[in-house]
Chain A
Amino acid sequence: MNFARWVAIYGPTYLTGLGWTAVTAVGAACGALIWGCALLLIRLSAGRWGARGVDAYVQLFRNTPVLLPIYLIYFAFPMIGLPWPAVVCGGLALILQNGAYISEILRGSVNAIDRVQFDAARSIGLAPWSTFRKVVLPQVLVYSIPALGNQTVLLLKDTSLLSAISITELTMQAKLLTEQTGAAYEAFIVVALLYLLLVSGTEVLFRVTHRAVRWR
């Protein structure tokens, strides 16, 4: 059957996949941001060993593919008594991986903050945690918006790997439809288009946010 008819018939089944992709992407992105900030905090405040620890963590996740933690958490955790649901396992793997990259992005922006501000903060008696929360973090986040946007797009694309642990997101949906209807071309082209849409949407979102925040 031709493309248009196939899309008309099977289009709505993609909505489940779209929903799961969006939910895992948003959840993992927020989680990764929080985890990245936590890593940054550890790096800044725990002295040499803290910084080295974070470095080792970052190097580990930069030099290994994200499929490995996905498989590990999904298949191995139940064996040690932690049978978390698939979405949690996949989300956790994505958070651990992307948190590493985000902490590096934020670290780059920290160097852009004038040293003077740290001295000023200490002179008015701000505790390290408050310095971090009120001085460092807001500026670092604002500086990093473009790079964070880029990382979010990468995370969005990585959600497709969650199909390997049987989460019914977009890619899994395409595979199921291919098997059901034998129409491989149609199934995967629609999914590719949907991903392009999501990616473009995310990029626009970050660009708009960047512009809005810069005006303040």
Chain B
Amino acid sequence: MTQHGPIEDKALPSRLRAHVVTTGYRPSLHGYDVQSDLARNYKHTDVIFTSLVGELPDDVVSEAFAVALTFVSTVTVAEAPAHAAVVARVCGPRASSMLSVAGTALAEQTRELLDEHAAILPKLLVGALNGSAATFAPRSSDERGAVERLRVALGGFVRRVPALGYDIRLDTAIIATLVACGLRDRELVEVAIVSARLPVVCAEALAWRPGALRDYPMDLPRFIYGDRNVDA
């Protein structure tokens, strides 16, 4: 029986467009043969960069991008993405559930971080943080030390990240580095950060035994129920 409705009767594309990866058993990524070229000549962080930017990084950008992803990769269990992934892991054995929770929480954590930086992202492109740097100043001397270690790890690439000339927070410094690497849209920065953090968050969760409900500190933090019998 032929069915008719607004969707059948609308002229719609008949095929799904692919912009990045070709189909088949010999895929290419933005035109580069994955198996014969990228796998033999580039490291995984270069493939991530190429996926996002559409072009391969040169050697200097490749190193800086890898440094930035490494610096941004750690999420402690105190932070909601890893904490939530741990709870999901404890609830049951499916890795896909834990991964979904971790990915969602990381995406939200990163969105909030980029929201906070939305006003200065255009400034990061040109490097000028005058008037904004104080807002993004390090929260402690420990954090100032971490930014200094980022500068050291980046080596000569620091000159391409003018924002690193300011006294700024670590997350701001990492975002500035990613922008300087060529990730010019906030969405690209968000994807890069989440991709770096996901394995670390999942590793923290996988260290827990599924079903270990009694090992999880359920009353941390304390919740105070404040609406008891108001209307009863």
> Do A and B truly interact?
no
